Amino acid sequence: MSYAKRFRRSLLDGKLELILEAHNGMSARIVEEAGFSAIWASGLSIASALGVRDCNEASWSQIVEVAQSIHDAVSIPILFDGDSGFGNFNNVRHVVKRLSHYGIAGISLEDKLFPKMNSFIAGAQALSSVDEYCGKIKAAQDSKCDCNFTVIARTEALIAGLGVEAALKRAECYHEAGADGIFIHSKAVDGLDVLEFGRQWGKRSPLVVAPTTYMDTPLALLEQAGVSIYICANHMMRASIHAMRKVAGQIRKDNGISAIDSDISSLEEVFSLLDYDELKAAERIYGQ
């Protein structure tokens, strides 16, 4: 079964599924190893790993290239964070064509302007017009190479402070334009706006959330509200900053590496994660 089909099934099965962010091939392997059934190729995390900000400082082809490395490293579906589409409908067509051709399972497109700014940065978050955004959703659906490739419409109406009613109006238009699911994003700490949105949405199509700020909301409540995909959006990237800062500081302080050695992954772990044994086995079949 293709990755796109697997992801579509899990989106539509009515059960809540946690998916975790990865931002390169190595983090993707760790996500897969932990037993997750799919990966969120996070714009924020990929940009951070590239050393740039999450406001389209990296080009779309740079981000797609990283998503391709993630795809090559694992055997689980990838939902690609397509920001606001990297331009207009025509940029969306190029990105979707390339992603779906490569075997990425789906894209999330948000209704912000280009260049976008990360949703958690304070300040005005201007939204695109409904008509322009619906054109992007239609363009995405019309240019995919795999009929199971999923197009998720993400509304930032709550992030922009427009309220649940405005979010519902936008979501209805995006649903009619052909979105396979609605990503309702929020930065509330109690998640009540998302739960209210879900109650009124009434399971018209599956919901996707990234509860970064409302992580204490019980999964069962989100599932009852129609949430199918629960994105843990940035935790592998944040974990790596935390761990790398600690190691860099310790080595600098000690002026040496002996104290830190037992606190970090051994080289054996690195070789095992990247499956060096498989290469040995292949050499036995194909020669050196």
Token pair recorded at residue 97: 């064509």
- Draw the binding track, 8-27, toward ligand SPV (x: CB under 6 A; -: no contact): --------------------
Contact by Cβ (8 Å): 96, 178: no
Backbone angles phi, psi at 54, to 5 degrees: -85, 65
16, 44, 64, 74: residue in contact with ligand SPV (rule CB under 6 A): 44
Rounded to a whole number of angstroms, the CA Rg of the chain reads: 20
- Draw the binding track, 70-109, toward ligand SPV (x: CB under 6 A; -: no contact): -----------x----------------------------
Question: Residue 281 is which amino acid?
Answer: A
Considering only 38-46, 87-95, 170-178, 272-280, which stretch makes contact with ligand SPV by CB under 6 A?
38-46
Residues between 2 and 61 that touch Mg ion (CB under 5 A)? 43-44
| Binding of residue 158 to ligand SPV (CB under 6 A) | no
Bridge-based pairing of strands 39-41 and 78-81 is parallel
Number of H helices, E strands in the chain: 12, 8
Q: How far is the CB of 109 from Mg ion (least distance, A)?
A: 11
- Per-residue buried b or exposed e for 227-261, using 16+ beta carbons within 10 Å of the residue's own CB: bbbbbbbbbbbeebeeeeeeeeeeeeeeeeeeebe
Q: Is 54 tagged catalytic?
A: yes
Pick the closer one to ligand SPV by CB: 20 or 225. Answer: 20
Please give the positions annotated as active site: 54
Contact residues toward ligand SPV (CB under 6 A) are 42-45, 54, 81, 118-119, 210, 212, 233-234
